[in-house]
């Protein structure tokens, strides 16, 4: 199915560029943690052992980094829950408000749930500061194995950069980048009951006489609690059903995931999963430029996710991604950050909003 979609450039969004919009995808079987399909580019393969975007390219991830670096670590530490109220305001005004939300507006405060489903940068950065740069960085690198995160990078002009900061961890503006393969393995963790597993392309190699030559034993580790998995999957499923990832919805199946857009709209991502498969999809150009789509799509990565994954789920039973057995519902006061009292119903702003 990956070959059927990716070998034909007509299946990829049309843009104003003279370049062909490129894409890469990695699909992981949740039952094994192994890679079952991969596309390293768009169009028919013309070279042997050529550049594979899915494994060779180090890419900025945009908001697709938020669940890995901010929200999953935050849930795991106990610092936040989906009901936690976080200010939806800039953290600084030097040179203009920072961070900017996608729609360039702020809502004063939101719950973490709203921040995730609507991909609100201000909520992500403020949550990051709540859990701490070091904790976020170490969790992303050591637990989710986003291996190219760096705390000290010397650029060609001698300047020193680091991923220990608001933009890299809170918004995915990474110094070096991450591979599509690493992002697929990270998101598969959410569907694998919190167990991160090495995304292998082979298991064993035998010679012609049946002797074992290579044993690619899979590395794995339980990195997330059941509470974190339920919180994360609840939020990310809603991000698809009613949030920014709507173009990745698959009929008859529960899908969770997160979109990602980088600065100047040069990279588009969707990383998502069901209980059967997880996939990370990137779209962009070989020579980076702004992606201006003319074919009516919003996020081409989410559309490709759906085009490939929908047939793979045909006839498969609908499986739940989370359990609400231990969930409790609360009305939260966005002014105090606590559970809303009866007085909140008499707030003039609430009454005007209801009207």
| 324-343 confidence digits (pLDDT tens) | 898 998 889 998 899 888 88
**Contact (Cβ atoms closer than 8 angstroms) between residue 61 and residue 172:** yes
Q: What's the confidence (pLDDT) of residue 350?
A: 61
Residues 60-75: tens digit of each pLDDT:
999 999 999 999 999 9
Measure the CA–CA gap between 272 and 265, rounded to whole angstroms. Answer: 20
What mean pLDDT comes out for the span 254-279? 96
Lookup: tokens for 145: 């194995």
pLDDT surpasses 80 at 105: yes
Q: What's the confidence (pLDDT) of residue 47?
A: 85
Find the Cα–Cα–Cα–Cα dihedral 102, 106, 108, 114, rounded to 10°. Answer: -30
pLDDT surpasses 80 at 296: yes
Measure the CA–CA gap between 124 and 136, rounded to whole angstroms. Answer: 12
Measure the CA–CA gap between 189 and 352, rounded to whole angstroms. Answer: 43
**Residue at token pair 């975007």:** 53
Q: What's the confidence (pLDDT) of residue 355?
A: 37
Measure the CA–CA gap between 355 and 353, rounded to whole angstroms. Answer: 5
Residues recorded for the chain? 355
**Contact (Cβ atoms closer than 8 angstroms) between residue 292 and residue 207:** no
Measure the CA–CA gap between 191 and 187, rounded to whole angstroms. Answer: 7
345 pLDDT band, cuts 50/70/90, is confident
Q: What's the confidence (pLDDT) of residue 352?
A: 47
What mean pLDDT comes out for the span 209-228? 97
What integer best gives the mean pLDDT of the chain? 95
Name residue 70's beta-bridge partners.
none
**Residue at token pair 């899979």:** 218
Q: Give which of 183, 271, 182, 197 is closest to 33, Cα–Cα.
A: 197
Measure the CA–CA gap between 65 and 61, rounded to whole angstroms. Answer: 6
Name residue 108's beta-bridge partners.
88
- Measured at the CA of 289, the angle between CA 283 and CA 290, to 5 degrees, comes to 80
CB contact set of 153 (below 8 Å; sequence gap of 6+): 160, 161, 162, 175, 176
Phi-psi category of 30—alpha, beta or left, where left has phi over 0 and alpha has psi -120 to 50?
alpha
CB contact set of 329 (below 8 Å; sequence gap of 6+): none
pLDDT surpasses 80 at 353: no
What mean pLDDT comes out for the span 109-138? 97
The distance in angstroms from the start CA to the end CA of the chain is: 49
Q: Would you say the C-alpha torsion 228, 229, 231, 235 has a positive or negative sign?
A: positive
Residues 38-62: tens digit of each pLDDT:
999 999 988 888 899 999 999 999 9
Name residue 259's beta-bridge partners.
270
Q: What's the confidence (pLDDT) of residue 354?
A: 42
User: Is-cis flag, bond preceding 257, omega within 30?
Assistant: no
Contacts by 94-98 with C-beta closer than 8 Å and gap 24+? 98/166
Residues 144-194: tens digit of each pLDDT:
999 999 999 999 899 999 999 999 999 999 999 999 999 999 999 999 999
- Measured at the CA of 10, the angle between CA 63 and CA 298, to 5 degrees, comes to 30
Q: What's the confidence (pLDDT) of residue 314?
A: 96
CB contact set of 293 (below 8 Å; sequence gap of 6+): 13, 14, 15, 300
**Contact (Cβ atoms closer than 8 angstroms) between residue 86 and residue 115:** yes
pLDDT surpasses 60 at 22: yes
Q: What's the confidence (pLDDT) of residue 351?
A: 52
Q: CB atoms < 10 A from the CB of 306, how many?
A: 18
Question: Residue 329 burial by CB count (10 A; 0-12/13-18/19+): exposed, middle or buried?
Answer: exposed
């Amino acid at each position: 199915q990956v070959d059927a979609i990716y070998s034909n450039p007509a299946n990829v969004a049309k843009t104003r560029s003279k370049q062909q919009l490129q894409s890469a995808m990695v699909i992981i079987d949740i039952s094994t943690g192994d890679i079952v399909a991969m596309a390293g580019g768009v169009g028919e393969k013309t070279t042997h052992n050529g550049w594979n975007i899915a494994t060779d390219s180090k890419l900025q991830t945009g908001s697709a980094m938020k669940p890995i670096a901010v929200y999953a670590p935050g849930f795991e530490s106990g610092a936040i829950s989906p009901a936690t109220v976080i200010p939806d305001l800039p953290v600084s005004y030097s040179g203009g408000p920072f961070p900017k939300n996608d729609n360039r507006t702020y809502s004063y405060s939101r719950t973490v749930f709203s921040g995730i489903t609507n991909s609100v940068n201000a909520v992500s950065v403020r949550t990051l500061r709540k859990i701490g740069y070091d904790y976020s960085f170490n969790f992303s690198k050591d637990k989710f194995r986003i291996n190219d995160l760096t705390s000290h990078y010397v650029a060609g002009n001698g300047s020193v950069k680091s991923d220990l900061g608001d933009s890299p961890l809170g918004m995915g503006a990474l110094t070096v980048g991450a591979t599509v393969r690493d992002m697929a393995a990270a998101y598969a963790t959410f569907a694998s009951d919190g167990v991160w597993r090495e995304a292998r392309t082979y298991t064993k190699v035998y010679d012609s006489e049946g002797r074992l030559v290579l044993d690619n034993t899979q590395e794995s580790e339980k990195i997330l609690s059941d509470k974190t998995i339920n919180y994360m999957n609840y939020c990310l499923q809603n991000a698809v059903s009613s949030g920014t990832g709507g173009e990745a919805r698959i009929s008859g199946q529960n899908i969770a995931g997160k979109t990602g857009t980088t600065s100047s709209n040069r990279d588009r991502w969707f990383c998502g999963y069901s209980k059967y498969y997880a996939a990370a999809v990137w779209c962009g150009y070989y020579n980076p430029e702004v992606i201006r789509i003319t074919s009516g799509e919003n996020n081409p990565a989410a559309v490709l996710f759906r085009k490939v994954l929908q047939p793979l789920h045909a006839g498969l039973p609908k499986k739940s991604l989370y359990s609400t057995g231990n969930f409790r519902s609360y009305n939260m006061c966005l002014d105090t950050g606590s559970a809303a009292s009866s007085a909140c119903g008499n707030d003039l702003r609430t009454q005007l909003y209801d009207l």
